[in-house]
Amino acid sequence: MIRQLIYDRPARAWKEALPVGNGFTAAMVYGGQRKERLAFNDCTLWSGYPRDYDSAESLEQLGRIRELVFSGKYPEAVRMAEKHLIGGYSESFLPLGDLTLELTGSCGTYTRSLNLDDAVLTVKSGSLVRECFVSNPARVLVYRVTGPQFNAVLSAQSQLRSTACVRQGCLLLSGNAPDHVAPNYLHGERRPIVYEQAGKGMAFALFVRPVTDGQLIPKQKRIVVKNATYLTLIAATATGFCSYGQMPDTDCAAVGRKAERLVMDAGTDVGALKAAHMEDYHTLYQGQDFSLHTSTSSKTTEKMLKNSEDFNALSELLYHYGKYLMISGSREGGQPLNLQGQWNRDIRPPWSSNYTVNINTQMNYWGASICGLQGCLEPYIRMVHEVSHRGQKTARVNYGCRGFACNHNVDLWRKTAPVKGGSEYMYAPMCGVWLANEIYEHYCNGGLEAFQNTVEEIVRGAAEFIMDYLVEQDGYYVSCPSASPEAVFEANNTHCGLGCHSAFENGLIRQALANAMELEQDSTAREKLSSVLERLKPFESGEDGLSEWSGGIAAAEKGHRHFSPLYALYPGRVAGMYRTPELTQQMRRLFDCRQSHSRGQIGWSTAWAICLSGRFHDGESAQKNIRLLFSKALFKNLFNVHFPFIFQIDGNFGYVAGVNECLIGWEDGVVELLPALPPQWTEGEMTGVRLRGARIRFEWKNGQVIRVDSDREITLCTSHLAPNCQLSANIQLKEGES
């Protein structure tokens, strides 16, 4: 079947437009009847430049704050932390500018569609047909209009300080980014957008070459096209970004020439450009597939969202949309996906559209390696490697530790110090450990052997930080002060965000040390890691199940959006249904408590609940959360919603990971198929799944697996296998546990 998003009217707002991209240049296409708008982004266009927010004052006060926590004086500890353990805010990912095309021609029956199988967007308006794709091999966006004779006017503008001009028949938009942009959640800022600091903001450019059989009439800031039967726009973006530790180029003319070279090198053969684009895209997209055996439909996507009967078709469509967004937004040599992927319209976007690494950045990539999209992971691995280098100074200066530390907000300049504000989000030195654990998980799924040295360096750096950061209390090693991302508890009628040895950090630490032990060849070093693991304070139980902090302390908000205390189960692998049944039962109680008190309108949180449902082997819970995601957490263009009406892309990718967790699991060397099959997915097939080095294909019908193939030896749990299930020769069976 052809998987595509279909609409019968143009986008009226940015959140209805359709995304295109090649991992470097991205755009939102509105698909107007007679006025097309393409809103451009470039993955390296951020405010600011490298800064140092590390503070020796943090280390000076850390010991005293630990004493206060151990004494149960949590409010005092929080007040000191929010005064002394702080840093500066991250910079912001910025919109580049809009390209506007005003068309005159017939206007009649209208459709716009995004074909996920080929990564091509098509708009049909009367007799005019428009097609758009963004080529990764050529690094250009191509937008082509064909039809009976038409006229057009081409112009460009930006919210940033910029100028537009026509040069040799081409359109150039160029300018400079601000030196600093304050986060959107800071209210009352006297100068939230700053340009005046000696012009240090990087230069940016959009270069557009029109090719037509009509008459081109250059004006001062626009281009007029008359009597054309085709018009092709070939566009490229460029910025002055050099590297995360280097001041950016501020020369608009030089950056404009970079964009121009990309366009001119691409040529004008649209057929060749499209063929190369599709070949490149198919190499990634077609390596893995997920099908619920739904039939091809011409329904609009809006109707599918409103019709519960389209549950399976929408389940399948949203999965492949996630793959499309990954390939379109994260490619080798570019930057990793931020809070909005690579698509942002605001100078002060929600939460700076940065890399929020207390869940959101990690979630963006949860499903990538299992989907066989190892080719999209290079920017993520490179970012974490850069963070591990930059974070060595933060670890040493702020916390007196070896290894590397990273707090919850990272930007293009690889900021690793804390921000200011509430301790529940500000203080998060274990986020670097989380990033390291994620990279190792992807590495274990295979296909990333070229990054072996990098991965080992990252994993060892995280373990070194842990070994130095832990302190002794009552014969145990504990993490202190310890946060559970964005959650607070009540102490002396005060909300406190710092306690001792949160379940979240306990899980992170156990996973990181176990990863380091797997890689470590030196027996003495392994013994040290093992001894720390053995003396870590264990998880504890509380009134609602797993205790969020040591001492039975629970979060004040029972329906809190973060499932961080359950990290050890997912995305970690410290806990498991078979390996740690009692611990997993306590986790399930906390999960149920969170779910029963949740508003369920935050897409990434709902996606996380789907993933956890997979690890809990609960298909009913998975289906309930998938329906919740569909009904309350998707915009009309299927972008993920963060309550109340904010776009964040993490829920799109978290959903992909959730589907994977429901259909294929792995615990202690054993693969289990359909561990949490949603009841409505009665039959289907997955191919090309990459898990622990093996490529696996399986098919199911009536809720039972009827065929399994693997290109390597695997051990397969017999649960959910049909009596006559066909197995390839290299599959060994293990009886399922009850």
The DSSP bridge partners found for residue 726 are 707
Over residues 7-34, the pLDDT tens digits come to 999 999 999 999 999 999 999 999 999 9
Give the pLDDT of residue 197. 67
Mean pLDDT, rounded, for 615-621: 98
Burial class for 498, CB neighbours closer than 10 Å (0-12, 13-18, 19+) = buried
Mean pLDDT, rounded, for 713-720: 97
Give the pLDDT of residue 467. 98
Q: Are strands 355-356 and 222-239 parallel, antiparallel or unpaired?
A: unpaired
User: Nearest to residue 603, comparing CAs of 656, 640, 559, 646?
Assistant: 640
Type of residue at 196: E
Burial class for 83, CB neighbours closer than 10 Å (0-12, 13-18, 19+) = exposed
Q: Quick check: 672 and 717 in contact, CB under 8 A?
A: yes
Give the pLDDT of residue 189. 86
Inform me whether the pLDDT recorded for 738 exceeds 60.
Answer: no
Give the pLDDT of residue 580. 98
Give the pLDDT of residue 179. 95
Inform me whether the pLDDT recorded for 199 exceeds 80.
Answer: no
pLDDT tier at 581, thresholds 50, 70, 90: very high
User: Looking at 188-202, 357-371, 675-689, which range is the least confident one?
Assistant: 188-202
Inform me whether the pLDDT recorded for 380 exceeds 70.
Answer: yes
Give the pLDDT of residue 298. 81
Distance CA 252, CA 205 (A): 7
Distance spanning both ends of the chain, measured CA to CA: 38
pLDDT tier at 599, thresholds 50, 70, 90: confident
Give the pLDDT of residue 198. 63
Average pLDDT of the chain to the nearest whole number: 96
> Got the DSSP string for 221-282?
SEEEEEEEEEEEEEEEEEE----TTSPPP--HHHHHHHHHHHHHHH-S-HHHHHHHHHHHHH
Inform me whether the pLDDT recorded for 537 exceeds 60.
Answer: yes
Give the pLDDT of residue 106. 67
Q: Quick check: 103 and 152 in contact, CB under 8 A?
A: yes
Inform me whether the pLDDT recorded for 501 exceeds 90.
Answer: yes
Mean pLDDT, rounded, for 139-167: 97
Distance CA 578, CA 514 (A): 18
How far, in whole angstroms, is CA 515 from its chain's centroid?
23
Mean pLDDT, rounded, for 472-501: 97
Give the HSE-up count for residue 560: Cα atoms under 13 Å, Cβ half-sphere. 20
What's the angle, vertex CA 92, arms to CA 90 and CA 93, rounded to 5?
135
Inform me whether the pLDDT recorded for 369 exceeds 60.
Answer: yes
Give the pLDDT of residue 430. 98
Inform me whether the pLDDT recorded for 215 exceeds 70.
Answer: yes
pLDDT tier at 297, thresholds 50, 70, 90: confident
Over residues 385-440, the pLDDT tens digits come to 999 999 999 999 999 999 999 999 999 999 999 999 999 999 999 999 999 999 99
Give the pLDDT of residue 56. 97
What angle do the packed helices 378-399 and 452-469 form, to 10 degrees?
Answer: 30
